Amino acid sequence: MNPTAELLAQLAPSLEAELRPRLQGFLGGLLRAYLPQTWVFHVGPDVASLVVAPDGSARVTDAAALSPDVSVELRPEQLRAALGRPRAASPGGPPPKVTAHTAKGRAAFDYLRPRLGL
């Protein structure tokens, strides 16, 4: 696995633990409407995809998914800062380039943007 996929794979268990309880009940039904989500991260020469399934499970691959909801291009230090716990201040330089390919991807990214520091 490339370094980007390894970083995202470390995030997957905590993402699942946080998301699965939120998928219950009426409000969970609203949240499930935005799943599955597939995000592709281009970090330097690395590419990795994060896929969150309708049941809240998350998996990471070290390749670009064919039909992503969101593509994110950023530097390694930006990814480390965004995924850090607690989140570190975003490093200087150009901001990440984020492209939403679907409406559900745009909605998810807009919701997560402050949390990721992007």
Distance CA 95, CA 105 (A): 19
Tokens of 117: 């520091």
Question: Which letter does DSSP use for residue 93 in this model?
Answer: S
What tens digit of pLDDT does each residue of 75-98 get?
A: 998 888 888 755 555 566 788 899
At 89 the pLDDT is 55
What tens digit of pLDDT does each residue of 49-71 get?
A: 999 999 999 999 999 999 999 99
Name the CATH superfamily housing domain 3-116.
Answer: SCP2 sterol-binding domain (3.30.1050.10)
Distance CA 50, CA 28 (A): 21
Annotated domain spans of the chain: 3-116
- The answer to whether 35 and 52 are in contact (CB under 8 A) is yes
**CB neighbour class for 89 (10 Å; exposed up to 12, middle 13-18, buried from 19):** exposed
Mean pLDDT across the stretch 44-53? 94
